[in-house]
Amino acid sequence: MADPFVQWYGHKLWAHDLYCQEIATLTPERFTQDTWSSYPSIRDTMVHIFSADGRWLDRFRGEPPRAALQPADYPYLEDIRATWREIEEAQLAFVRQLSLGMAATITMPAENGQDSHVIPAWVPLYHAAHHAGYHRGQLATMLRQLGHRPPATDFLDYLVATR
C-alpha cells in the first residue's frame, strides 16, 4: 500500500495545479473581486492556503513558523504560484523522507506564548493536507459565483488520474 501521507500531499499539489489552470483564465479584476467566503477573494483565499502551507512546513521541520503572508503582496496568480509550488514540493519531499508509523511524533515549536510540545506526527500532517481541501471547496464556490466551472479534484479523481 502506498504511504497515505505521500498520497495526501501528492493529491494536494495535483489539485492546486488544476485549480491554478482554471484561475489563470480569470482577469486580474476577477482574481481579486470580493466574492466573500472565509476570505474576500480568490486571491486572498489562495494566499491564505499557501501561507498556512509554509507555516506548517516550518513547524514540521521543528522551526518557528514564518510570518503570515499578506494578499496585497500577491496581485497576480503568477506571483503566488511559484512560491506556493516550492512550498508544496518541499512538503511532499518532507513526507516522502519520513518513515512514519502511528507512534511517530513531531515536536511542535513554541509559538504564540505556548511552549513547544510533542504530538503524534499524523495529526499536523493530516490537518495541513486537509486544511487546503477545505479552502479549495471555498474556491470552487467563488469560481461558480464568477461563472466558472471548478475542476474535479476529489481524492478518487487523483488516484485515477495518477495511476
Q: What is the CATH number of the domain that holds 92?
A: 1.20.120.450
Q: Give the pLDDT confidence score for residue 95 in this predicted structure.
A: 87
How does residue 101 score in pLDDT terms, banded at 50, 70 and 90? low
Q: Does residue 1 surpass a pLDDT of 50?
A: no
Residue of 24 and 98 predicted with greater confidence: 24
Q: Give the pLDDT confidence score for residue 108 in this predicted structure.
A: 83
Sign of CA dihedral 116, 118, 122, 127: negative
Tell me the whole-structure pTM to 2 decimals: 0.91
Please indicate, yes or no, if residue 105 is contained in any of the structural domains: no
Please indicate, yes or no, if residue 16 is contained in any of the structural domains: yes
Please indicate, yes or no, if residue 116 is contained in any of the structural domains: yes
* Terminal Cα distance for the chain, rounded: 13
Average pLDDT over the chain reads 90
Scan for cell 470552487, then name that residue: 140
Please indicate, yes or no, if residue 104 is contained in any of the structural domains: no
Q: What is the pLDDT of residues 19-41, one digit of tens each?
A: 999 999 999 999 999 998 899 99
Q: Which cell numbers hold the place of 155?
A: 481524492
- Domain residues for the domain of 68 are 4-99+110-161
What distance in Å separates the CA atoms of residue 121 and residue 87, rounded to the nearest whole number?
19
Instruction: With both helix axes pointing from N to C terminus, report the angle between 77-97 and 4-23 in degrees, rounded to the nearest 10.
Output: 170
Please indicate, yes or no, if residue 72 is contained in any of the structural domains: yes
Provide the domain count of the chain: 1
Please indicate, yes or no, if residue 19 is contained in any of the structural domains: yes
